[in-house]
Amino acid sequence: MHNVTRLPERQAEPEKITINLGHVDLGRIDLLVREGFYANRTDFIRTAIRNQLTSEGSSVARSIDRHQLELGLFDITRADLEGFAKAGETLHLKVVGLARISADVSPELAVATIGSLNVLGSLQAPKAVKAALKDRIT
Protein backbone atom coordinates (compact mmCIF):
# COMPACT_ATOMS: atom_id res chain seq x y z
CA MET A 1 0.00 0.00 0.00
CA HIS A 2 1.83 3.11 -1.14
CA ASN A 3 1.71 6.37 0.81
CA VAL A 4 -0.02 4.81 3.82
CA THR A 5 2.07 3.82 6.82
CA ARG A 6 1.72 0.22 7.95
CA LEU A 7 2.31 -0.08 11.69
CA PRO A 8 3.73 -2.97 13.67
CA GLU A 9 0.92 -4.76 15.54
CA ARG A 10 2.26 -3.70 18.93
CA GLN A 11 1.61 0.00 18.24
CA ALA A 12 -2.17 -0.22 18.47
CA GLU A 13 -4.28 -0.22 21.59
CA PRO A 14 -6.44 -3.32 21.95
CA GLU A 15 -10.14 -2.96 21.28
CA LYS A 16 -12.55 -3.87 24.07
CA ILE A 17 -15.48 -6.14 23.32
CA THR A 18 -18.37 -7.36 25.43
CA ILE A 19 -19.70 -10.90 25.27
CA ASN A 20 -22.60 -12.62 26.95
CA LEU A 21 -22.02 -16.14 28.29
CA GLY A 22 -24.32 -18.60 29.91
CA HIS A 23 -23.86 -19.34 33.60
CA VAL A 24 -22.59 -22.87 32.98
CA ASP A 25 -19.97 -21.77 30.43
CA LEU A 26 -18.84 -18.98 32.74
CA GLY A 27 -18.58 -21.43 35.63
CA ARG A 28 -16.49 -23.82 33.54
CA ILE A 29 -14.15 -20.95 32.62
CA ASP A 30 -13.87 -19.96 36.29
CA LEU A 31 -13.03 -23.56 37.18
CA LEU A 32 -10.19 -23.62 34.62
CA VAL A 33 -8.92 -20.32 36.02
CA ARG A 34 -9.09 -21.63 39.59
CA GLU A 35 -7.21 -24.78 38.55
CA GLY A 36 -4.42 -22.63 37.08
CA PHE A 37 -4.92 -23.39 33.39
CA TYR A 38 -5.46 -19.66 32.72
CA ALA A 39 -4.51 -16.52 34.63
CA ASN A 40 -8.04 -15.09 34.44
CA ARG A 41 -11.19 -15.06 32.31
CA THR A 42 -9.66 -12.67 29.80
CA ASP A 43 -6.67 -14.96 29.32
CA PHE A 44 -9.04 -17.87 28.59
CA ILE A 45 -11.13 -15.85 26.13
CA ARG A 46 -8.09 -14.46 24.26
CA THR A 47 -6.63 -17.96 24.01
CA ALA A 48 -9.92 -19.39 22.73
CA ILE A 49 -10.23 -16.65 20.11
CA ARG A 50 -6.63 -17.07 18.94
CA ASN A 51 -7.07 -20.84 18.69
CA GLN A 52 -10.24 -20.43 16.63
CA LEU A 53 -8.60 -17.85 14.35
CA THR A 54 -5.65 -20.20 13.87
CA SER A 55 -7.93 -23.10 12.98
CA GLU A 56 -9.79 -20.89 10.47
CA GLY A 57 -6.56 -19.27 9.21
CA SER A 58 -6.69 -20.63 5.66
CA SER A 59 -10.32 -19.48 5.26
CA VAL A 60 -9.40 -16.00 6.49
CA ALA A 61 -6.38 -15.87 4.14
CA ARG A 62 -8.52 -16.88 1.13
CA SER A 63 -11.12 -14.24 1.98
CA ILE A 64 -8.44 -11.56 2.33
CA ASP A 65 -7.04 -12.47 -1.10
CA ARG A 66 -10.48 -12.72 -2.72
CA HIS A 67 -11.61 -9.34 -1.42
CA GLN A 68 -8.19 -7.71 -1.91
CA LEU A 69 -7.97 -6.66 1.73
CA GLU A 70 -4.91 -5.35 3.52
CA LEU A 71 -4.16 -7.15 6.79
CA GLY A 72 -2.69 -5.15 9.64
CA LEU A 73 -2.59 -1.71 11.15
CA PHE A 74 -2.55 1.39 8.97
CA ASP A 75 -1.89 4.99 9.91
CA ILE A 76 -3.28 7.52 7.46
CA THR A 77 -1.49 10.82 8.05
CA ARG A 78 -2.09 14.31 6.76
CA ALA A 79 1.15 14.02 4.75
CA ASP A 80 -0.10 10.78 3.17
CA LEU A 81 -3.36 12.40 2.09
CA GLU A 82 -1.61 15.55 0.87
CA GLY A 83 0.56 13.25 -1.25
CA PHE A 84 -2.55 11.65 -2.75
CA ALA A 85 -4.01 15.10 -3.45
CA LYS A 86 -0.79 16.31 -5.10
CA ALA A 87 -0.68 13.19 -7.29
CA GLY A 88 -4.36 13.55 -8.16
CA GLU A 89 -5.06 10.11 -6.68
CA THR A 90 -7.86 8.84 -4.47
CA LEU A 91 -7.34 6.39 -1.61
CA HIS A 92 -9.50 3.27 -1.58
CA LEU A 93 -8.44 1.26 1.46
CA LYS A 94 -9.77 -2.13 2.56
CA VAL A 95 -8.36 -3.16 5.93
CA VAL A 96 -8.69 -6.16 8.20
CA GLY A 97 -7.34 -4.77 11.46
CA LEU A 98 -7.01 -1.10 12.35
CA ALA A 99 -7.16 2.00 10.18
CA ARG A 100 -6.25 5.16 12.02
CA ILE A 101 -6.65 8.64 10.53
CA SER A 102 -4.44 11.25 12.22
CA ALA A 103 -6.00 13.95 14.36
CA ASP A 104 -4.53 16.70 12.13
CA VAL A 105 -6.46 15.52 9.04
CA SER A 106 -9.23 17.97 8.21
CA PRO A 107 -12.63 16.79 7.02
CA GLU A 108 -12.06 18.67 3.77
CA LEU A 109 -8.76 16.87 3.06
CA ALA A 110 -10.31 13.52 3.92
CA VAL A 111 -13.26 14.08 1.56
CA ALA A 112 -10.95 15.26 -1.23
CA THR A 113 -8.65 12.23 -1.04
CA ILE A 114 -10.47 9.23 0.46
CA GLY A 115 -12.78 7.55 -2.02
CA SER A 116 -13.71 4.58 0.16
CA LEU A 117 -12.73 3.05 3.45
CA ASN A 118 -13.76 -0.52 4.24
CA VAL A 119 -12.59 -1.59 7.69
CA LEU A 120 -13.15 -4.98 9.28
CA GLY A 121 -11.88 -4.31 12.77
CA SER A 122 -11.55 -0.75 14.01
CA LEU A 123 -11.46 2.72 12.52
CA GLN A 124 -9.99 5.48 14.66
CA ALA A 125 -10.48 8.98 13.30
CA PRO A 126 -11.59 12.41 14.47
CA LYS A 127 -15.38 12.63 14.81
CA ALA A 128 -15.59 15.38 12.18
CA VAL A 129 -13.66 13.25 9.68
CA LYS A 130 -15.86 10.22 10.34
CA ALA A 131 -18.95 12.38 9.85
CA ALA A 132 -17.59 13.83 6.59
CA LEU A 133 -16.78 10.34 5.27
CA LYS A 134 -19.92 8.57 6.55
CA ASP A 135 -21.12 7.73 3.03
CA ARG A 136 -17.67 6.34 2.09
CA ILE A 137 -17.09 4.13 5.14
CA THR A 138 -18.29 0.53 5.02
* 19-35 confidence digits (pLDDT tens): 999 999 999 999 999 99
The pLDDT value given to residue 45: 95
Once rounded to an integer, what is the mean pLDDT over residues 1-5?
53
Number of neighbours of residue 25 by Cβ within 10 angstroms: 10
The pLDDT value given to residue 1: 44
* 71-123 confidence digits (pLDDT tens): 888 889 999 999 999 988 899 889 999 999 999 999 999 999 999 999 999 99
The pLDDT value given to residue 67: 65
Sign of CA dihedral 90, 112, 72, 9: positive
Evaluate if residue 59 carries a pLDDT over 80.
yes
pTM of the model: 0.64
